[in-house]
Structure 1
Amino acid sequence: MMVVLAANQDQNAWTGASPRYVDFASMWDGRWYNIVAVSGYPSLLPVTADGHTGENAWAFMPVYPLVVRALMVLTGAEWAAAAVTVSVLAGAGAALVTYRLLRTHLDANTALFGVVLFCAAPLAPMFQVAYAESLHLLLLSTALLLLVRRRYGVLVPVIVVMGFTRPSALAFALLLGLHLIVRIATRTREPFRRGEAPALIAAVTVSGVVGLAWPAVAWFVTGDIAAYTDTELAWRSAYIGYQHLVPFTPWFQGFEWWFGRPVGWAAVVVLVVAFAMALVSRPVAALGIDIRLWLASYALYLLAVFFPQSSTFRLLVPLFPLVGAIAAPRSRLYRVAVVVAAIALQWVWLLIAWRVDGYDWTPP
């Protein structure tokens, strides 16, 4: 699909007409990661004509571009080829760890089909583009597996690296806090082993600190306390103008922009209720309490801070354990239909979000 689209891609801001596959796969935010890998981060924030912070590299965390840069130095590869290679390898690793994660509560057949869905999902093309999602999923699936296995001490360094790959550490801190409460409440059935409680408390603390660290780093380098949040807000200014970040308002703002009021606001409420009902459904409950706590924590994080637009589909990728619930039915007809539908939706997503069509306002 990517090769076909690349062959038919017109000249755009990132490539010439009919670009090579690796150039086509490193468009959009891939250029920002390239800038970070080559030039680092600006000490002076760009300012728009009306005095607001403009789009800049502080929105993109450093681990993925540094890993790609290391591969470039070691092999002499160009950015595009190295970036795609890192993403493909990390995606493959994430698929393997996801199988281990699903097997903690599901039988082998269901877990393996869950991995099929993981690899064929509508946004599976993200595993082969110059974005940090593949590497983040590898770290996130590993962190969840370590949590399920109660390997709290080993979990801490994974949290640190993950938190500087994609914004997720605050959601993971919420998960760990809820997990600690559950462990305390169920300590008669599952008592803490020696050293577990201090290690878990340390993991909660580290995750919270890491979640706040990147905005602090941006403040330290630029001297602007709001450097990171203002940078993130720059991307939504094309929709609703420049506004302050007020937690739990972006989805209402976004759906009002898309559908108007009160339909947009009602749609947000319906989505929240539907997701809550899904969390208590039997297929999702079969994933185990820790996975459900992650799904709830990350969804709450998205609801609090992210503005819904075309890239929101990409931001839903960390909810990947839901493939285990979707994989539950054993009907062969159902399974074939789900895979076919997922691959068809890959094509839809690529046409809408990845392919550049003139002045394109649907970034992936």
Structure 2
Amino acid sequence: MLSRGFRQLPRSAAVLMVWAAATLLSLLVLRLGAQDTGQTVWAPARPTWMEHASFWDSGWYERIVREGYPTQLPTGTDGTVQQNAWAFMPLLPLLASALSWTGWSFYACATAVSLAASAGAALVMDRWLAPHVGKRASLWAVALFWCSPCAVVLQLPYAESLGLLLVAVALWLAERGRFLAATPAVIGAAFARPLGVPLTAALGLWWLWEVARSRRGRRERLRLLGLTAVAAASALAWPAIAWAVTGRADAYTATETSWRGGELTPLLPWLTRSQWWVGGHLGWLLLIGVAVLAVLALSAPALRQVGEPAWLWCVAYTLYLLVFFDPTTSVFRLLLPLAPVAWALAAHTPPRVRAALLAVGLVGQVFWVSWVWDGYSAVTWVP
């Protein structure tokens, strides 16, 4: 992978070459899978590239561009809020709309935004984490992450690549002490994906860590605390906007929980879903196993060595999922923000293990595209 000619390339070019190779490989998997895809509610059998990109939640973003957000929440006969556009943040449709002058369809514009954000995320993650793990390991990490099972979403009209880019920019700049410059990225992340709460938690944990260690000066710690406050305000902004537009204080949370068919109950969905996955008697054992795996992974020295901001981001985001998330099959896609784990793995595994991890990721991607995105399975999987 690192021939002499390759090593002589400018760093950005080398990163983009690895990113492009992984992204093209994901596109190949996606297009081959399309040939076995039957008729769906989104497209006829054997969908074209753009038809394939319109699957699942991509249609919600297109609907936002076409109709905007509802001023009155749709409700069922029992008064419960039904699924609607308020669950989807506005940054992706806004940026896709900015490309409408090209004459492309929404899906083409949104795909272009996702691809640009994905490439940007690869560059920023490398600039941020390569000093911690080394340049060679960082290139391996780019390959591992962009060949991971759900990585194809990073080139589709979903906001995952935007969220990843903005969180990486925010934490990279903050780690360098550029807290003011990180502010737009912190705000943008909260309007790309529901990342404001975990980002607030990560910055808050980092501030506590710095206070306890007394490594940074008082002024820098105050600036970090200020950035944490900005993140908290950004996390509350979208629910507040939904309240102002619809007149319902719970407009956002009621919309989010409409997908799970219940109220927002922290932690409880993990217990009920674990029973759904393996049965009532084994559910609690599965939950304990997941918790143990999370603790072991987050406390691993390899993850801590990628730097406090990256480590504490992984801690905060995992806690956020455990507290608020309803662990459906979408959990695999929602693990993508834990990208620093790829850098930790690349830095502390020999080349043969890295190659094995790369192969495992690609095999997982084949199954994810086939079983989840294309629905080519007897089990109903949702991306």
TM-score tier by shorter-chain length is over 0.9
Pair 1:9 & 2:37 matched: yes
Instruction: Give the whole-Å Cα distance in 2 for the aligned partners of 1:159 and 1:198.
Output: 17
Instruction: Name the structure 2 match of 1:56.
Output: 84
Query: Deviation at 1:329?
Result: 4.0
Show structure 1 runs of 5+ residues with no match. 238-242
- 1:95-110 map, 5 Å: 95-110=122-137
* Equivalent residues, number: 355
Corresponding letter in the other structure for 2:242: A
Instruction: Give the whole-Å Cα distance in 1 for the aligned partners of 2:183 and 2:252.
Output: 24
Tell whether the 8 Å contact from 2:134 to 2:347 is kept in structure 1 after alignment.
no
Query: Deviation at 1:120?
Result: 1.0
Residue from 218, 228, 236 that aligns with 2:242: 218
Instruction: Name the structure 1 match of 2:24.
Output: none
Pair 1:313 & 2:352 matched: no
Match of 1:105, SS state, is: helix
Query: Deviation at 1:62?
Result: 0.1
Instruction: Name the structure 2 match of 1:301.
Output: 320
Instruction: Give the whole-Å Cα distance in 2 for the aligned partners of 1:263 and 1:359.
Output: 23
Show structure 2 runs of 5+ residues with no match. 1-28
Query: Deviation at 1:330?
Result: 5.0
Instruction: Give the whole-Å Cα distance in 2 for the aligned partners of 1:274 and 1:331.
Output: 22
Instruction: Name the structure 1 match of 2:149.
Output: 122
Query: Deviation at 1:161?
Result: 0.9
Instruction: Give the whole-Å Cα distance in 1 for the aligned partners of 2:377 and 2:145.
Output: 31
Query: Deviation at 1:356?
Result: 3.3
- Report the more deviating stretch, 139-148 or 345-354: 139-148
Change (3 A) 1:330 1:205: closer
Pair 1:347 & 2:366 matched: yes
Tell whether the 8 Å contact from 2:37 to 2:47 is kept in structure 1 after alignment.
yes
Instruction: Name the structure 1 match of 2:258.
Output: 234
Instruction: Give the whole-Å Cα distance in 1 for the aligned partners of 2:334 and 2:351.
Output: 30
Tell whether the 8 Å contact from 2:174 to 2:224 is kept in structure 1 after alignment.
no
Note the alpha carbon deviations across 1:1-27, whole angstroms, 9 max, x for none.
111222332221111222211220221
Instruction: Give the whole-Å Cα distance in 2 for the aligned partners of 1:359 and 1:52.
Output: 30
Instruction: Name the structure 1 match of 2:21.
Output: none
Instruction: Give the whole-Å Cα distance in 2 for the aligned partners of 1:50 and 1:278.
Output: 43
What TM-score, normalized to structure 1? Answer: 0.93
Note the alpha carbon deviations across 1:260-318, whole angstroms, 9 max, x for none.
23421222222112211222222212212221111110111111111011111111111
Instruction: Give the whole-Å Cα distance in 2 for the aligned partners of 1:358 and 1:174.
Output: 38
Tell whether the 8 Å contact from 2:211 to 2:221 is kept in structure 1 after alignment.
no
Percent of paired sites with the same residue: 37
Match of 2:44, SS state, is: coil
- Report the more deviating stretch, 344-353 or 264-273: 264-273
Residue from 319, 333, 336 that aligns with 2:352: 333
Instruction: Name the structure 1 match of 2:75.
Output: 47
- 1:261-272 map, 5 Å: 261-272=280-291
What TM-score, normalized to structure 2? Answer: 0.89
Instruction: Give the whole-Å Cα distance in 2 for the aligned partners of 1:228 and 1:26.
Output: 24
Corresponding letter in the other structure for 2:140: F
Instruction: Give the whole-Å Cα distance in 1 for the aligned partners of 2:350 and 2:212.
Output: 38
Change (3 A) 1:250 1:94: same
Instruction: Name the structure 1 match of 2:196.
Output: 169
Residue from 38, 59, 63 that aligns with 2:66: 38
Residue from 208, 216, 224 that aligns with 1:200: 224
Instruction: Give the whole-Å Cα distance in 1 for the aligned partners of 2:131 and 2:65.
Output: 37
Which contiguous aligned blocks of 4+ residues in structure 1 show a shift greater than 4 angstroms? 357-360
Note the alpha carbon deviations across 1:216-261, whole angstroms, 9 max, x for none.
1111111111111111111112xxxxx3212121211211222223
- 1:48-197 map, 5 Å: 48-72=76-100, 74-187=101-214, 189-192=215-218, 195-197=219-221
